[in-house]
Amino acid sequence: MPAFSLDPAQTARCAELRTLAAERLRPLAEKGEPGHVNRPLVTELGRLGLLERLFTSGAVDLCLMRESLAHACTEAETALALQGLGAHPVHAYGTPAQRERWLPGVAEGSTVAAFALSEPGAGSDAAALELRAEPEPAGDGGPVRWRLTGEKCWISNAPEADFYTVFARTTPDAGARGVTAFLVPADRPGLTGTGLDMLSPHPIGALTFDAVPVTADDMLGEPDRGFRVAMGTLNLFRPSVGAFAVGMAQAALDATLAHTAERDAFSGKLKDLQTVAHQVAEMALRTEAARLMVYAAAAAYDEGSRDVPQRAAMAKLLATETAQYVVDKAVQLHGARALRHGHLLEHLYREVRAPRIYEGASEVQRGIIAKELYATMEAGQ
């Protein structure tokens, strides 16, 4: 694969997005209530045409949007990403009727989507799902029916989303092969939820399914093939989680460059201290390395490369671990001021931790990488 670099149009688009995020999205984000869906912010993302691009652009463009928004307004970035994560299965695997019913509202920001995969006992091990889809006899030749019973947990946008992409077990004891994806509107009888008080400021909640009715008309993709729906979605969004992380790392690096260039210390500026300069250089080096891996993975996805799972895992792993490193170093170089509530780095320090866990923890990404490496080796023998 050739080396990845942004063309002039992409560079200009990134600058435009940063300006839009700072001038139009950040004020709305600041008015939002932590832990709750900020619907005015989601609506503005739709008005700016950013949500529609979730369904008309490729992985590289998704990464450009997420990195640019994250640099200026992490809340806007997360709101956009959650719309994409929850609605992509509908876009990619839904029926024409499902797409017509739900995607226009997602694109305009009037309908909030959510991706409901994790459970209290099945987070990183998605194949161990226990939410049951229990079949009912189809009456009068109507569509096949199921009742969903169980729990989901750590679900972003829950319990305030308008619909959920839900993964449930339709075949017992079948591992990944016995999971089916369903589109479940939030107003279905038996579906309830509660918000969770989390470190990250965006909404996260738990869902309880008490014999929630679904039919074949609610299915996304094929029966017992829901794991394919989940992994197809994650293969697209994992590199863009990396882009989110790169955006935060770049924001922390930019703040550190400005601070160390201005801060007086030991008869000079902080930047004149070799130990400081070397730390800043390391922060920049790791950020750029992560950026290149993210966009290489995104380009591979857009080209339909066979090694997308490995590249996506590598990009997500490197970028999120790098962002944690860079933000932590930025806090250290800023000193106590960075720990005050309201400071950019205090905000980034809270935001940067979660991406190392969600959409597959760092340890899971290492497992995927190793599995793909050995599979490639064995295929070549």
Q: Which residues are catalytic?
A: 359
Residue 93 CA to chain centroid, in angstroms? Answer: 19
CA-wise closest residue to 312 among 234, 220, 370:
234
Number of Cβ atoms within 10 Å of the Cβ of 1: 11
Measured between alpha carbons, how far is 371 from 377 in angstroms, rounded to an integer? Answer: 10
Measured between alpha carbons, how far is 347 from 340 in angstroms, rounded to an integer? Answer: 9
Q: Cα dist. 13→9, 17, 61 in Å?
A: 6, 6, 10
Is 209 in a helix, a strand, or coil?
strand
Radius of gyration, CA atoms only, the chain: 21
> In this structure, are residues 315 and 369 in contact, taking their beta carbons and an 8 Å threshold?
no
Cα-based angle 18, 24, 25 (whole degrees, multiple of 5): 75
